[in-house]
Structure 1
Amino acid sequence: MNVYLLSLLVFSPLLGILMISLMPKKEERTIKQFGFFGTLPPLILSFFLCSQYYSGVALSAFSIKVDWIRFGNLEMYDPKLFAVNYELGLDGLSLSFILLTTIVSSLAAMASIYIKQGWKGYYLLFLILEIGMLGVFTAENLILFFIFFEMTLVPAFFLIGRWGFLEREKASYYFLIYNGIGSAVLLVAILILFARTGTTNIAALTQMMTMGGVSLFAPISSSMKYGLCLAFLIAFAIKLPVFPFHSWMVRVHAEAHPSIVMVHAGVLLKIGAYGIIRFAMGIFPEQYESLALALVLMGVISFLYGAWLAMVQTDFKLVLAYSSISHMGIVMMGLGALNEAGLQGAVFQVISHGLIAALLFFLVGALYERTGSTMLPNLGGLARSMPVFSGFLLACGLASLGLPGMSGFISEFMVFLGLFKGQPLLAAIAVIGLIFTAIYILRAVMLMTFGKNDSLEEKEKRDIEGWELVPALVLLGLIIAIGVYPNLLGGPIQSTIEAVMLALGGR
């Protein structure tokens, strides 16, 4: 049964897709219920996998490998040559991303109750998107990874362009163009690797590239390895994104429906960091090391640039959009630090930001549902009429700026610890961004909660209640849990980090 569990996890949203497909499109309440319940099987299975890990079961026991596609007839040389298998696997890093995906997806499906029309199409696309995200984090070969990667782009494009704000269609095309370019670069790199090595298995490629570049089929020169490493970095830097590949993400954050941005900011952006760790850093450690300084520079620029622009925005959605760019800069700084503290901090930052961003955009959705606005000048005085909402907003804001006791502090502390060890001058410059972060977070929160504004009637300012408390409490609870007990996340990812650091020379 263990070998089928990952396949069951990845494709379990199909049950929800089937139920929704059989429903008349006017059955709003039932479709929304089935849409939410369709996210529960992967959530339950991910918790089961987590419990198995903590009970001592090796995650490798859940791997599956089935013959799938063969190109050419080279079995006389080696049966593995140009064979693409259906391979799913799990380690501590991918388990952490899967838990993030299933939790955020279920809560975003719950928040999608705010969707006003097209419920059937919305939830069908939503569940297809979840299948793609789960597949990305479990795929054990590059072709399968790319298929699932592309599977996330199509439903996300329609979800952004069909449900959202005034310029949603323009935002969806920006999303498609930028991510399409990244996908093209990624595909070229994968095909070159496949043509030169005869395999797309991630473990096999890692072994080949770290043992002198001698492949099963043809040698790969040092310059080609640099080019391939750079291609992976560009493809996933666009996905993350960091400066100067960021403009598409600002539009998506501002124009997509908040429940979609919960998934986009909470999970989809994190595929970029996952890809850099798994492929660029894992398969090409020597070449990655020589490019690390450029990554740190990109991270510092993104951190400062995003924070500076967030300080001057008057739309709360844009504050959060530029905040995401800034926080992804922290991720890039950690990935470029080339030491265990920096890498561990980068992974913590990815998970932490996923939870914080999901909570912030859930609050944006709840606020827009009540007021019809996200402009800071129009939202003053919320602490008086919406004290519970204001409390969650303040707590989440403090987590975002790195208050001790919350997940944001742990991630930023470790990233800067690693960066000061490797690049002290750049780390000292980047510290300025922490001041900017405190300014734009506190400015936005204070304007919304205690600012002066009488344009909204009290009935429009009803506090969050009932089912709305569930996503808010779950996400805030996880943010505090990781901040108070970091080993909750640090334990599962440690073996992966140690393996990557060993390949990088054990710094």
Structure 2
Amino acid sequence: MNSLVLTLLVFSPLAGAAVLLFIPKKHVRAVRLTGVFAAMPALILSSIILVQYALGAGIERFTVSVPWFKMGSVSLGGEYFFTVDYELGIDGFSLIMLTLASVLAVLAAFSSALIQSGLKAYFSLLLIVETGMLGVFAAENLILFFIFLEVTLVPMFFLIGKWGFREREKAAWYYLLFNGAGSAVLLIVIVYLFALTGTVNIGKLIDLAKNFPEPLQLGLMLALLVSFGVKLPIVPLHTWMVHVHAQAPPPVVMLHSGVLLKIGAYGLIRFGMGIFPEAFQTLGTAFLILGTVNFLYGALLALIQTDFKRILAYSSVSHMGIVLIGLGAVNEAGIQGAIFQTVSHGFISALLFLLAGQLAMRFQTTDIRELGGLAKRLPQLSGILLAGGMASLGLPGMSGFISELMAFMGIFLVQPELGALAALGLILTAVYVLRAVLSMTFGKEKGLAEPIQDLRWQEAGPAWVLLLLIISIGIFPDGLAVPLQPAIETIMKGIGG
């Protein structure tokens, strides 16, 4: 029975999408409720597993492996020599990512009140994206991982292109072309490994890759860096993401910035560092340099933007630099900081983009020059926005502080000079966050003087949940560190740490 749990967790949103087919589109309330409730089983199951794991229960019992398909060869008399299994499994890291994805999927569905047209198609696509995200973090072989990754691609294209803002179609094509190119590189790596080893099982590949020649390991690692670098994104492969974050509907951006970007970090850790640890160590300094460039470049561009959504987009580029810095340190502190940043930024960016969507809905703009004095007119929204900004700049007591502290501890242990340079990004982050948030909340009041409604309970609920999660991680980091520790120890063992 336990072997069915992960399958139920991954495919429950898809079942909800199927139910939506039978609900008449005129029943708007039923469509909305179905869309929200269909996202909840995955959250319930992942939360139960996470609590059990935190209390000491093993999660190996949830692993499932059954024959899926075989590939034969006439030259071998028709005997099958390539076998691909349907394999799902989790460790502490993937379980945390599953929980992150399921939490944000529920909150994104709950926050979709601003979507007024094509609700059946919208929620169906949103649930398909959730299935893809969950499958990515549960997959135990590369082919299954790739399939689930591609499941997210096409629905996201339509979600951006149909329900986004003015330049939504352009943003959707940017998304499809860049991510399609990254997926093509990943597919080449998977096919090559499959042909070379006869397996796509991640555990087996970790053992077999140790015997690869060093140049081959380095080449495959570089290919993975390009593939997942598009999705993270790494400068200069980041331009598509700015368009998506500025033009996609806010609930979709919550999923994209909160989860889909993090697949890039997950892939680099799980496959790059996991399968090719020696090559990853060789590229450690390159990761540190790329991370520093990302951190500073994103912060500088965020500093000169006037549109709040574009500020948040470049902030995401900058904060993903912290992930690269932590990974490039190739030590326990850095890796733990990178994983913490992956989870922390998922919640923080989701919160800030949610609030950006609420501002756009009320004022028809997110230009910080057109917004001001919100603290008097919208005190609850302004308060949560201020708290989210403090989390983004790494205020102690918030999740952002813990992740930045550990990542920078990692880089200072190996490259203190580069760490000092990267630390300038912390100052720039404080400047652009405070500039944007304070000008909107406590700046001179602008716009129409007519009353504007503060956050309704349907809007405030998801915002408060995200803020409480951010504070919880900041105050009780062991709640995240303890489940992650076995996975980090396994990574360190693989790289000889």
User: CA contact under 8 A between 2:288 and 2:324: conserved in structure 1?
Assistant: yes
| Secondary structure of the corresponding residue to residue 72 of structure 2 | coil
Note closer, same or farther for the CA distance 1:286–1:112 as it changes in structure 2 (3 Å cut).
same
Trace 1:127-276 onto structure 2 (pairs within 5 A): 127-210=127-210, 213=211, 220-276=212-268
Distance in 2 between residues matched to 1:457 and 1:82, nearest whole Å: 69
Picking from 451, 459, 463, the partner of 2:454 is 463
Match of 1:338 in 2: 330
Q: Deviations over 1:453-472 (max 9, x none)?
A: 3322332x321121222111
Match of 1:401 in 2: 393
> When the two structures are superposed, what TM-score results if normalisation uses the length of structure 2?
0.98
Instruction: Say whether 1:62 aligns with 2:74.
Output: no
| Secondary structure of the corresponding residue to residue 283 of structure 2 | helix
Note closer, same or farther for the CA distance 1:80–1:359 as it changes in structure 2 (3 Å cut).
farther
Runs of 4+ aligned structure 1 residues displaced above 6 Å come to none
| Secondary structure of the corresponding residue to residue 378 of structure 1 | coil
Q: 1:80 Cα deviation (Å)? A: 9.5
Letter matched to residue 496 of structure 2: G
User: CA contact under 8 A between 2:73 and 2:80: conserved in structure 1?
Assistant: no
Match of 1:217 in 2: none
Letter matched to residue 502 of structure 1: K
Distance in 1 between residues matched to 2:31 and 2:92, nearest whole Å: 35
| Secondary structure of the corresponding residue to residue 69 of structure 1 | strand
Picking from 423, 426, 441, the partner of 2:418 is 426
Q: How many residues align?
A: 496
Distance in 2 between residues matched to 1:204 and 1:128, nearest whole Å: 30
Q: Deviations over 1:203-256 (max 9, x none)?
A: 00001123xx1xxxxxx4332221111111110011000111100000000000
Instruction: Say whether 1:348 aligns with 2:313.
Output: no
Distance in 2 between residues matched to 1:151 and 1:467, nearest whole Å: 29
Distance in 1 between residues matched to 2:224 and 2:478, nearest whole Å: 30
Q: Deviations over 1:169-199 (max 9, x none)?
A: 0001000111011000000000000000000
| Secondary structure of the corresponding residue to residue 297 of structure 2 | helix
Match of 1:475 in 2: 466
Match of 1:494 in 2: 485
Show structure 1 runs of 5+ residues with no match.
Answer: 214-219
User: CA contact under 8 A between 1:378 and 1:453: conserved in structure 2?
Assistant: no
Q: 1:367 Cα deviation (Å)? A: 1.4
User: CA contact under 8 A between 1:371 and 1:456: conserved in structure 2?
Assistant: no
Distance in 1 between residues matched to 2:81 and 2:418, nearest whole Å: 45
- Range that drifts further, 266-275 or 290-299: 290-299
Distance in 2 between residues matched to 1:111 and 1:80, nearest whole Å: 49
Q: CA RMSD in A?
A: 1.5
Q: Deviations over 1:335-393 (max 9, x none)?
A: 10010000000000000000000100111111111111101011101001111111000
Instruction: Say whether 1:359 aligns with 2:348.
Output: no
Letter matched to residue 423 of structure 1: Q
Instruction: Say whether 1:436 aligns with 2:428.
Output: yes
Distance in 2 between residues matched to 1:336 and 1:20, nearest whole Å: 45
Show structure 2 runs of 5+ residues with no match.
Answer: none
User: CA contact under 8 A between 1:101 and 1:133: conserved in structure 2?
Assistant: yes
> When the two structures are superposed, what TM-score results if normalisation uses the length of structure 1?
0.96
Letter matched to residue 224 of structure 1: L
Letter matched to residue 301 of structure 2: L
| Secondary structure of the corresponding residue to residue 264 of structure 1 | helix
